[in-house]
A and B are shown apart, each in its own frame.
Chain A
Amino acid sequence: EAQVTQNPRYLITVTGKKLTVTCSQNMNHEYMSWYRQDPGLGLRQIYYSMNVEVTDKGDVPEGYKVSRKEKRNFPLILESPSPNQTSLYFCASRRQGVNTEAFFGQGTRLTVV
């Protein structure tokens, strides 16, 4: 089954404690991205990757890091989380091309206290 898998689904952490949210896709898609969803703001792109070892900033990259060492994996790293990073996070993947459908993971609800 074609899918994007994120882990964990829920995470509560304390300010400053490094964390990683994993994302994996089994569709051999070149393009992967991370979004955060906040009420009234829709989905805003944090980082994206066009292919292995190619990553770039989206609209709201501050406080986040990513890496793309393998085509299927695209982890999101918060080196020093802060309460304003409390949000719902989604990973997505697409085939290369502007007219292709994005497939989304189930989401990770992160709370930073």
Chain B
Amino acid sequence: AQSVTQLDSQVPVFEEAPVELRCNYSSSVSVYLFWYVQYPNQGLQLLLKYLSGSTLVKGINGFEAEFNKSQTSFHLRKPSVHISDTAEYFCAVSGDAGNMLTFGGGTRLMVKP
């Protein structure tokens, strides 16, 4: 069975500082990995995805993530965050259970001025 662990439930950071949100997964087959963002009082929207090919994936709003198969990780990074990046971020995996998307517990990013 596939699963996702997001190691940090909350990450406080100052504006313009770099940030990394950690995600580890487990799966017995090839995986497809996703990061979604949820702004306050909104649904989830796709930030970026890894399907195959280059292990460094670029997404919207300056975010990027690196797929590391040996460490079964898919960490999300941004070199300089803005107040508007304050949101909850979810890592998700697909591939081991039909069409099912399995989500991690979420990481709340809090950007302070």
Contacts and interface: CB of A to CB of B under 8 A. Distances in A.
Contacts, number: 65
Interface residues of B, number: 27
Contacts of A58: 100
A64 to B, nearest CB: 16
A31 B100 CA distance: 10
Given A96-B99, A99-B94, A40 B105 contact: yes
Contact of A104 (B44, B95, B99, B105): B44
10 closest Cβ pairs, A-B complex: A104-B43, A42-B105, A43-B103, A99-B32, A42-B103, A104-B44, A106-B43, A98-B94, A99-B51, A98-B95
Interface of A: 4, 31, 33, 35, 40-45, 48, 50, 58, 90, 92, 94, 96-99, 101-102, 104-107
